[in-house]
Structures are given as C-alpha cells and as structure tokens.
Structure 1
Amino acid sequence: MDEAELAKAKAAAAYNAAADLFDHPVSSFWHRFGRRTVERLELRGGDTVLDVCCGSGGSALPAAETVGTDGTVIAVDLAERLVALGAAKAREKGLANLEFKTGDMLALGYPDASFDVVICVFGIFFVPDMVSATKELWRMVRPGGRLAITTWGPDLFEPANTAFWDAIRIERPDLLKGFNPWERISTPVGLGQMLDEAGVTNPDILAEAGNQPLAWPDDWWLVAMGSGYRGTLSQIGDTETLARVRGRNLAAIRDCTAIMTNVIYSIATK
C-alpha cells in the first residue's frame, strides 16, 4: 500500500470509529466552521456545489439550504459512517437537492469545470500530496467559480493537544506522531504557498482566532474520541492502558476551560 492509500485508509478508519461522537454537542465546531465557510462563499440560488471531506454535513447542509431547490450539492467523504449521518440529516431536513456519497475526492471522475463551487473543510491536509489534491479540486471548478479550502490555524486544541500526546508518549510511545497533518498549512502564508503551487491564484485568505469552551476536562475526551485522535486511541487496544492515557491527559488539563480552535479560510475565484 503506497503512502496515499495508507493515508486514506487511516483517515477512513479514524473517522468511522469517531462517528459515534462526531456530532456530540461539545464538538459543535465542525458545523460552526462549516457554516461559516458557506457564509463566506455567498452562494447563489441554483449553484452546483461539490463538498469533499464533508463529514456529517457541516458545510454541505447549509450549502444545500442556501442554493435552494434549483441548486445541487454533492457531498463526499471516505468515512461511510459519517456519510450515513449526513444523509440522515438531509432526509430529516427534506433536502432533496443534497446527495451524500462515500468516495475519494481524488478519484471522483467528474469532468473539468463541473461545479460552480468546490468546498473542502478540514480535509485537504490528510492527503500526503496536498498540491496535487488541490489541483484536482481546482480542475473541477468552472471558470468564474470558486474553491473554498478551510483548515486549522496554529495551536489547534491547545493545551489539550499537547497533554494528549504527552500521555501517549508515556503509555504508548510507538503511537506517537511526529506532527499533526494540519500543521503543514496552519498559517496564512503556508496555506497561500500551497495554493500557489497548485496554480490557485489570488486567494482571499482569512485567519480567525477562536476557542471551544469546556465545561469540565471530560469534554475534551469527548472531542478526542469524536475526531481524528480516535485513530490513535483505537490502536491502544487494552482498556487499562487507554484508561491511563485518559487519566494522564485529563489530569494535565484539569484547570482548562477552553481549547483553541483557530481557523484559516481561503476562497479563490477561477
């Protein structure tokens, strides 16, 4: 299995495992930032939209509501359990213009210039070759259309993130990561450089500082279990070690009342 296939398999496994807590209220930021991305796009009625790495619909659902019955939204994710969550929400809301499907954003097979808007929220950094992935998304945008890529800013989920990996280092150093994938483009300059290499010119890039309140430390553990951290936790196996990781992590943030959720939005017109 090559690097790209391994990355896809790991992302799918992590988020399928995390699906049971992905939509927990403590992780409301998924949908908050998805909706914010859509608001910045100022979609029009009748627009055709492709939303890749769609999760359970954080951006796809508000996009479908905005483009109306004359528009269409196709939402794609590798994690079939998240796709199922999103599809259920679309049915509940009566959004017949929204289709959720399991798939790889790099192999969708759509012709050039198929969509008015292509959206990728918190997903582009999971691909080892982000430049090639962005080129593929850009290819599917029609002339005059837009590409929106939203990514995490610096210090994501701190101080809980550092406490998490410190606990992993002590209990299961073999699972320690050298870096988090989003760190490759966690500044406006870094994101801008990546977009430029992909041939995406003159993007409008906005960095926004933010945080997610925690009522108590256990809220962080729910965030971790409902996000990409679940991929690491799922590999621990035995419950005693997992309990020690949790205990060390939460003890280190016992006085923490919020975690950082800095975000960078980019929109480019073709």
Structure 2
Amino acid sequence: MTTLNEAQAKAAAAYNAASDLFDHPANTFWDRFGHSTVERLDLDPGSSVLDVCCGTGASALPAAMRVGSEGQVTGIDLAERLLDLARAKARKRNLNNVEFQVGDMLDTGFADASFDAVVCVFGIFFVPDIPSAIRELWRVLRPGGKLAITTWGPDFFEPGNSVFWNAVRDVRPDLYKGFNPWDRIAEPLSLNEVLIEAGVPKASIVAESAVHPVTSPEDWWTTLLGSGYRGTIDQLEPEAVDYVRQANLSFMADSRTQNVQANVIYAVAKKP
C-alpha cells in the first residue's frame, strides 16, 4: 500500500476533487502540454514508457499512439479518479498498449532500467524533495533512454492566480499561499540545478512563453475547479466560496482578460 507524505496526500485529494472538471474544454492546457512533451521525446515504435503523475492521460495517450501496438505505456498517479478517466479515454480510442495504476513517483516499485522513456508533466514539484523523485525516475530508465520533465514557468496563470489567492486571503488567511510548489524550479537555471543534484547530467532545457485562453469569466472559474486550486476551494465555507468566485468573475469581466500566462519549461535528458 502506498504511504503518502503530507504534500502528496493534499495533491491527491485536490486532483481527485478536480476530476469532475479536469477534462472540461476550458482546461485544454493539460492535453496541449502533454502532447508537446511527448513530441520532444521523439519516441520510437515499440518503446516502453512510464508516465508519472499521468492524470487523465494527457501525455500517456499520445505516447501510446506514438509507440504503437508493439510498445507499452504505463501511467501512474495518486489520484484514482483521474486514473478512471484515463482508462475510459484509452478504451474509447482503442488503445490496448497503455495501462494506468495507482503509483508513487518516490517509490515506483519498478526494477532498475525498466523503461525506454520516463515522462513527468506538471507533477515533479508536488514532493518536498524533488531530487529524490528525479533519482527514482532516472533509476527506472534504461541506458540510452530519455527522461522528460515539464514544469510551470514564471507567472503561472497570472493575472488570475494573484486574484484568486488575494480573494482567499480575504476570507481564509490561513489558506493563503504566497509560494507555489513549482516556484522552486520555475526557471531553467533552478531546474537544471535540481537535475544535476539528482545525478541527471546535460539536460536540454527549453523555456516556452505561452498563454492559456480564457473565453469567459465562467470558464476561468471552471479552470480553477478543474485544477489544483480545487483543494483550496473545497476547504472554504459556502459563503467564502461565493466571495472568491465573485471576486474572480468580476476581475475577469471588468479587466476583459482573455488569457492567462501559461509559461512552461521542458527538460529532456538522455541517460548515458
């Protein structure tokens, strides 16, 4: 049985709660950056792939399509409800070369050198000790294989992010976050330093400036409910939720905000 630390338990709870809106059309960024990560790996047909923090399959499913029927993709995540959605999507696409299971990136349970590629998109920062997580992913990677880690860059979801947290602080200052877990590796230099500490040399790191469209104020609230913000929202009393929701809707409407920043950093490293 997987034993979770506090940070992992909170993340699992938040994303299980967010599963009802995780794949809503307002939240296309999961698939967008999952596909982009897989494209950077240039997977060969027949390859074996491990996708860690796989969610509903945003990178695992395109990887399964890329490696073909002779290949195999295994997706692991702590949020069981997301895995259920991933399995349903795989069945709908007739992908028989991908499986999803509950798993911990700090202790995957796989043997050394088990996979030709290992992927982790928007997940490596959920543990306090990031180098330990990376060492585990590097351990299960075969020599000559590739590790791909994608994380958020600076100014994640701004200006909406600040509006959300400022509203939370108004009603529940104890829940206010002035620091996001991905802030530790939100620049190429800091990510590279963590990779080197974990024993991963010579990674190719690319920062990409991007935005995520917000087609309406209501869609912005849907994005909050279908992502990690859900963990905070679900801790609020109904009146506080109404306050935070209205603050976000009013800002998006009054400012006519049509997108939020969605900068990402891609790191790909080949194991000697």
TM over 0.5: yes
TM-score of the pair, normalised by structure 1: 0.97
Q: Which AA in structure 2 matches 1:242?
A: V
Counting only pairs closer than 5 Å after superposition, residues 56-95 of structure 1 correspond to structure 2 as 56-95=56-95
Runs of 4 or more, structure 1, over 6 Å off, are none
| Identity rate, percent | 58
Stretch deviating more after TM superposition (88-97 or 14-23):
88-97
- Say which is worse superposed, 28-37 or 4-13, in terms of deviation: 4-13
C-alpha separation between the residues in 2 aligned to 1:104 and 1:26? 28
Matched residue of 1:22: which SS? Answer: coil
Q: CA offsets, 1:176-208, max 9 Å, x none? A: 123111111001111111101101000011111
Shift of 1:4: 6.2
Kindly indicate whether the alpha-carbon contact (under 8 Å) linking 2:206 and 2:266 is maintained by their aligned counterparts in 1.
yes
Residue matched to 1:243 = 242
Q: Which runs of 5+ in 2 are unaligned?
A: none
Distance 1:8 1:153 in 2: 21
Q: Secondary structure at the match of 1:149?
A: strand
Q: 8 Å contact 1:4–1:127 — kept in the other structure?
A: no
| Aligned counterpart, 1:135 | 135
- Aligned 8 A contact 1:124 1:149 in 2: yes
List aligned pairs for 1:152-171, cutoff 5 A: 152-171=152-171
For each residue in 1:38-74, what CA deviation from the matched residue of structure 2 results, as whole angstroms up to 9, or x when unmatched?
0010000010000000000000000000000110000
Deviation at 1:215, TM superposition (A): 1.4
Q: Is the 8 A contact 1:111 1:140 kept in 2?
A: yes
Aligned mates of 1:214, 1:110 — CA distance in 2: 40
Equivalent AA in structure 1 for residue 89 of structure 2: K
Per-residue CA shift, 1:91-128, capped at 9, x if unaligned?
Answer: 11111110011121222211111100000000000011
2-side partners of 1:219 and 1:103: how far apart?
31
Q: For residues 212 and 108 of structure 2, what CA distance do their matches in structure 1 show?
A: 34
Alpha carbons 2:205, 2:268 under 8 Å: kept: yes
Q: Could you tell me which residue of structure 1 aligns to residue 150 of structure 2? A: 150
Whether the aligned pair in 2 keeps the contact of 1:159 and 1:253 (CA below 8 Å) is no
Structure 2 Cα separation of the partners of residues 6 and 257 of structure 1: 35
The question of 1:172 aligning with 2:172 is answered yes
Query: What SS is found at the alignment partner of 2:5?
Result: helix
Per-residue CA deviations over 1:206-264 (Å, capped at 9, x if unaligned) read 1111111111111111000000000000111x211110111112222322110110010
Q: Return 5+ residue gaps in structure 1 as ranges.
A: none
Structure 2 residue matching 1:38: 3-state secondary structure: helix
Mapping of residues 44-123 of structure 1, within 5 Å: 44-123=44-123
Structure 2 CA distance for aligned equivalents of residues 4 and 186 of structure 1 = 24
